[in-house]
Structure 1
Amino acid sequence: MVDLTSARWRKSTRSGNQGDCVEVATNLLARQGVVFVRDSKDPRGGQIAVTARSWTAFTDALWEGALTP
């Protein structure tokens, strides 16, 4: 079981106040080796763990405009 008590969850500053955002905890990357992601509407509903490599590829694609809604 993963201990997330020290996770510092954050969401994008571009997120609205609608409550339908994704939150990430990157502060555990060095210790756990992954970035944790959860739904802000249901923070106790579970999290997914994403490898650092996958997270970087995802965020790079967002910045490059490869992923659009």
Structure 2
Amino acid sequence: MAQVDNGVSADTLDGAQWRKSGRSGGNGNCVEMAVLTGGAIAVRNSRFPTGPALIYTREEIEAFLGGVRDGDFDFAVK
């Protein structure tokens, strides 16, 4: 997999098919994700589609989503 730096402009990620959560509201509070060539996962703010993207490994995303499911991050929205 080619090295992709965090903060790269999201519109420069070739082949990225961005997906938004069905829970996203119409007021711009949306985060989008895309699987990149090689398996890395990109995350961007949908309000700024050409803005910076954060790049994570599949393992990092799996660990984060597991923590979300387990309630580890509920403190952030209470």
TM-score (normalised: structure 1): 0.80
Match of 2:15 in 1: 6
Larger radius of gyration: 2
Runs of 4+ in structure 1 over 4 Å off: none
Distance across 1 between alignment mates of 2:70 and 2:26: 25
The aligned length equals 66
What per-residue deviation string (whole Å, max 9, x for no partner) do you get for residues 4-32 of structure 1?
23111011111111112110002x2xx32
Matched-pair identity in % = 39
2:45 counterpart letter in structure 1: D
1:53 equivalent in alignment to 2:59? yes
Map 1:1-69 → 2, pairs under 5 A: 4-26=13-35, 28=36, 31-68=37-74, 69=77
Gaps of 5+ in 2: 5-11
Higher relative contact order (CA 8 A, sep 6+): 2
Q: For structure 1, list consecutive stretches of 5 or more residues without a partner in the other structure.
A: none
Q: Distance in 2 between matches of 1:32 and 1:23?
A: 18
Tell me the C-alpha RMSD between the 2 structures.
Answer: 1.8
